[in-house]
Structure 1
Amino acid sequence: MTTTAPTSTSPLAPHIWQRARGLLLAAAILAVSGVALAALRSAEHTAPLDPRSASPDGSKALARLLTDRGVHTTVLTDSAALRQEAGHDSTLLVPFPDSLTEHQRTAVRKAAEGSGRTVLLAPDARTTSALIPGIRTFAALPVQPTRPDCDLAAARRAGDADLGGHRYSATARLAESCYPRNGRATLLRLHSPSRGDTVLLGTPDLLRNEHLDHLGNASLALQLLGAHPQLLWYLPSDAAAPSAGEERSFFDLLPGGWSWAAVQLAVAALLAALWRARRLGPLVTEQLPVAVPAAETTAGRSRLYRKAKDRAHAADTLRAACRGRLALLAGVPRPQAHDREILVPALAARGVHRASPEPAEPAYDEARIRSLLFGSSPANDTALLHLAVELDRLEELFAPVGSQQHRRRTDKDITP
């Protein structure tokens, strides 16, 4: 006898790899692209003159030198915090005064009134007139090594430094002009009897990491910013809270990288659609499935139930089929064939509760019919087989005279 080797329907490792390798490759490409874009954007968004940045345009080297000399640097991005932190023992540094809004300029003016020193880097004419009235601003010149030419102690100790940019002049007597270019100061210090002094620098280059070690840049920067134990480095960000009268749209509240994330998701969806899309082509005729005999279908489903150990489902299928046939024989309408309160009394009323052909077995009374047709699930395969035999006997007892089931029951009764 020849036996057919069983065919496994479980996917093998090579098949799984062939199906998943395209998706894994796409996921790896997206992951690498995301990391690369994040790194590039982090490099692009390194703010110049940021004391936390080690890039050439940053000022981390200066912040480290100030820390070594006991000066604590605090980066502030909120104008409300700026007014709270400012004090007579603090120096306020505003690296980009020209980019301030009107609300932020008001906060800087109030903070400067209580600060020991305020340093403004390269303010233009519009900014100086708004923050420090009485200051004249002249056209900017290229940055180059410049001599102090003044009596300011910090400038004399620093010596030559890289200065230039905007130039300033003041009519006030309490003003010191240093590092002149074409007769105008590129470093202007203003004294005030009621508040701390104010320093205007024509260029911020001497604070950058790449220029700090040139000439006397480091010495001049340390003396200007290290006069007090607290340095407030004001870098207002786009995420700062708006003023009372300022409104922000929904897109202003989203994180800065949401647009890049949306683009990456769109590209991933497009690639997935192209990968999984149907290839259009001519129609192909296909033969219909072959007809399978009912006995083979029944046997196949039985083997599936047995493999899954789903005895409850198998018992329900047997009982439902038996109830349908008995309801037809008992004259019960098909919609009510599965109603135990209608089917069981109807069977009992037609005499199905007569004795079993086997003398040793109990009679098929109403309680037993109810248990067979609507009872609990069998606990094992033996109980399932016993239930199938009992349902078959119940149909034989109720079969009409002359039918195949009746003849089979009669044959059992007369068999010695």
Structure 2
Amino acid sequence: MTATAAPPAPVPAKTAPVRRRRRWHRIVIPFALATVLVTVTLLTHAADQPDAGDRGFLSPVATGDDGGSRLAEALRGQGVTVQRETDTLRALLALDGRPATLFVPAPELLHPDTVGALGDLPAGSRLVLVDPSRRVLESVDLPVAPTDRRWAARAVDPEADGRPCPLPEADRAGTAAVRLQGYAAAGGYAGDLRRCYSGGLVHLPWAADVVVIGASDPFRNDRIGEWGNEALSTGLLGVRGRVVWLDLDGPAPPPHFGTGSSGPPAWSPAPGGSTTWGDGSGTGDGGPAGGGPGGPGDGGDSDEQDRADGPQPEENPLWSAFPPWFWALLLQLALAALLVVLWRARRLGPPVGEPLPVQVRAAETVLGRARLYQQARARGPAAGTLRAATLDRLLTRLNLPATTPPAEVAAFVAARAGGTADEVHELLYGAEPSTDAELLALARSLDRVTRTVTAAPDHPTEGDPR
């Protein structure tokens, strides 16, 4: 006998490599949500921060959150004269050599041809600039340069950087919300630069001393009552007893030039005024010698000029009923709710069948499903489930096909369990119960019929003796 070689084992066929489905959305969605969150935060911060170009920003007659009416009232309460001017040249003429403080809350709105005149104020006066930019500081020829800028104004102590603050007004006010924009000495300047609030306030004690402050918070209506803001703002502006408040609604127009009686051309205010500056001959309404509204002879705030500016536009009362931080918080809560909805409704892939980690008893499953039906008040579906289970047992017990007509099923069941065919038909195929009591009675009747039919001795089941 010769041994036959065993057939070679079949070579398993190479299976195609399983291509993993790239779940690109798992990377895109988190980054998209983070981008949306950062964008909304930036937009909310930009909307919450006041803009110097907004109408009524630090205006002595504006009562909004960004206005300065509370500061003006506090100054008048201390006996300080507040003179409002809406033209740069009129404000400069209003100083006229008498002690006064020129308050410029929005230096960026000054025209480049007139901003340089702020460096030639008469002796004994004070210039207060709020958050000036590098362009303004260089145009006024101030040896000050902006440094770091914060996200929001911070309340700090005048000696926060460990250096004593030589300005009495700041020392009396104490902690104030000044540290938004920091300032330091410009390169090459070796003079006396008096810094307070960790560089948030700079004082130059010249013939006309200059105060540069890096935040508008101490002057605004919505922040003046915090910390020592009111004491600082009234101290800076009221030290001379008179304040010339330059209130610009927008970018200042270029100056108009006219020819004086002798010498070079002279500056004049915007059209509509007769005051000139340069030769001293202009003594029209509002000029140095005129004593009209807006001139130095006014002696108080220009009420007639305020009324001539026209009515202020009406604001939506809904927006003014709540502070800006409320709307920002509401927007962030809405975004958070949207993220929660997206997280709860996420569907990042197809459903995957997994084995149950534990075995659940049938009684617990039935009880849990029954409670769900009860909570949803689904009496109809519950009755349908009970009837379907009963019919399945009865048809199996009676050896009837599933396609047996209801009338025949009712007749067979009535013959085994008793009663009429109509009663059994109503029990197995009747209407839905309308109350929990009817559903309970239906369940008991179905259970009784099932037990009666399945217990019949003439229909043995699997395992019974035949």
TM-score greater than 0.5 by the shorter chain = no
Q: TM-score, normalised by structure 1?
A: 0.44
- Structure having the higher helix fraction is 1
